[in-house]
Amino acid sequence: MTPTLESIRDFRGTYPRQLWWLFLTEMWERFCFYGLRGMLTVFMVTQLDLGEKDANLQYGAIQAFVYAFTFIGGVMADKILGFQRSLFWGALLMIAGGAIIAVSPTELFYLGITFNIIGTGFFKPNISTMVGQLYHENDTRRDAGFGLFYSGINIGAFLGGVLMVYIGKFHSWPMAFGLVAVVMTISLITFAFTRKGLGPIGLSPLAHLPKMKATQREAAVYVGSLLSIPLILKMVTNTAYTDLFMWIIGPSTLVYLAWEMRQFTAAENKKLGAALVFILFSVLFWAFFEQSGGSLSLFALNNITPTFGGLSLDPNVSNNSANSLFVILFSPILGFLWVALAKQKVEPNSVVKFGLAFLLLAFAFYVFYATVFVANPETGMTSQEIFVLGYFIITFGELFLSPIGLSLMTKLSPTRIQGLMMGMWFLASAYGQYVAGLLGAGMAQVGDNVTNLERLTGYTDGYLYLAQIAAVGGVVLLVLSPLVRKLMGSVR
């Protein structure tokens, strides 16, 4: 029997049962995403012979397009496909992308990545939106639900981060990329067998149209996304096009949102204004945080010792999995903490959480900078233990911001544009990824005579600068807290 929306939302306990199904579906998709992310710069430097500066720029471009297309995927789900069909289509494209790269990683890398970019755009924002729709508007358990969902994301990220980069570096790159196709198939099967339990959540918004007309519009989305492949491939392989794309997509998005806002009340538009504040600040956060896939990945490759606590541990495996492991361990604990504090009416509001996230981010990058003080001056190698400590701290910054941000987009947005606003949240990540690539390229010390110590100094000096900017961002957010809270109305 297909449940109604009310029966889904009137669940007992902390989590609705549907959340566990979406948890598993997203877990396997994030296995692929974060596994790929951790391999990108290492693969491009060691297999495609790109220099570190170019690899950072290329990484930023690829990741920017991945997140930029989540905005497009969110709009298509809102207006035409619905969240469920959008997720199916995205999964199929990602399966194809992994299989294409596995055939010939060096020759077909960019083509396969293009499929993954489009697929992630259709998949990622819409499953997050469905999580938000499991709850009544003012349900205080929503943040805890997103905290658990975020644990699922990071279980997948941890497994993918460990396995894919390890298999690629030490065994077979085709096998590593082939895992994307295998694991995304598991994700798709999981969703296919559990989707009925979602009831009306995520179904097509075109149910009111004649079946033929609705089918034609859906087919146009599928065909259009395939026809866009050559254009996206061209933009991904040439970072100059990335610059142009990023200058166009952001302003266009804001214009489109302004057009949509005409139909809402003043109170709803104030909440959307608050959402935009969170979105804009998240650009800065992700620009720093996403050094993990760019400069920090190359820093681990060249400057981190391959031992941890006296045991052999590949630094890139550590770089690609430590954050996820810490999220798995601490995300549920923080989720329960938010619920407990909410019951006592002493939970920090979302703006304060964002401000604290920036201060933790600043502390983490200061720790990354501090690795220079224990580096071997002859080899330029430094401590993996301190490096991992930086990830331990940055994890709490992420937990104060990312799952809260996902929850806020569903709480601050009118239901009929939740896909759009979730897409904008991920579009902010696109700009963060784009800036992350530029920052990483600026830190890279290039040249035939650059020593490993000079390479280390270039990156650590950059991390000190990022720490200082993040601290300023945190203070500004805390100062703005009362103003943003007024815009949010009843939403905390």
Q: Does residue 77 contact residue 122 with C-beta atoms inside 8 Å?
A: yes
Q: Does residue 16 contact residue 132 with C-beta atoms inside 8 Å?
A: no
Pick from 319, 292, 330: nearest CA to 436: 292
**What is the pLDDT, as a whole number, of residue 78?**
81
Q: DSSP for 108-149?
A: HHHHHHHHHHHHHHHHHHHHHHHHHTTS-TT-TTHHHHHHHH
Instruction: Give the helix ranges, DSSP H, for 292-448.
Output: 295-303, 315-343, 350-370, 384-412, 418-443
What are the beta bridge partners of residue 109? Answer: none
Domains of the chain and CATH, by start: 13-488 (1.20.1250.20)
Q: Measured between alpha carbons, how far is 162 from 314 in angstroms, rounded to an integer?
A: 10
**What is the pLDDT, as a whole number, of residue 431?**
86
- DSSP annotation of 4 reads P
**What is the pLDDT, as a whole number, of residue 492?**
67
Q: Does residue 474 contact residue 260 with C-beta atoms inside 8 Å?
A: no
Q: Measured between alpha carbons, how far is 342 from 338 in angstroms, rounded to an integer?
A: 6
Residue entry with tokens 């099967």: 189
Look up residue 442 and give its amino acid: G
Q: Measured between alpha carbons, how far is 3 from 17 in angstroms, rounded to an integer?
A: 12
Q: Measured between alpha carbons, how far is 136 from 388 in angstroms, rounded to an integer?
A: 39
pLDDT per residue of the chain (492 residues) written in tens, 0 to 9: 778 888 888 888 778 888 888 888 988 988 888 888 878 888 888 888 888 788 878 887 888 888 778 778 878 888 888 888 998 999 999 999 999 999 998 899 999 999 999 998 888 777 877 888 888 877 778 777 877 787 777 888 888 888 888 888 888 899 999 988 999 999 999 989 988 888 888 788 887 788 888 889 989 999 999 999 998 888 888 777 777 878 887 888 888 888 888 888 888 888 888 888 888 888 899 899 988 878 898 888 888 999 998 888 888 888 888 888 898 888 778 777 877 887 887 878 888 888 999 999 999 999 999 999 998 988 889 999 999 999 999 999 988 887 777 777 878 888 777 777 777 877 888 888 788 888 888 887 655 577 888 888 888 989 999 999 999 999 998 998 888 788 876 666
Q: Burial level of 132, CB count in 10 A (0-12/13-18/19+)? A: buried
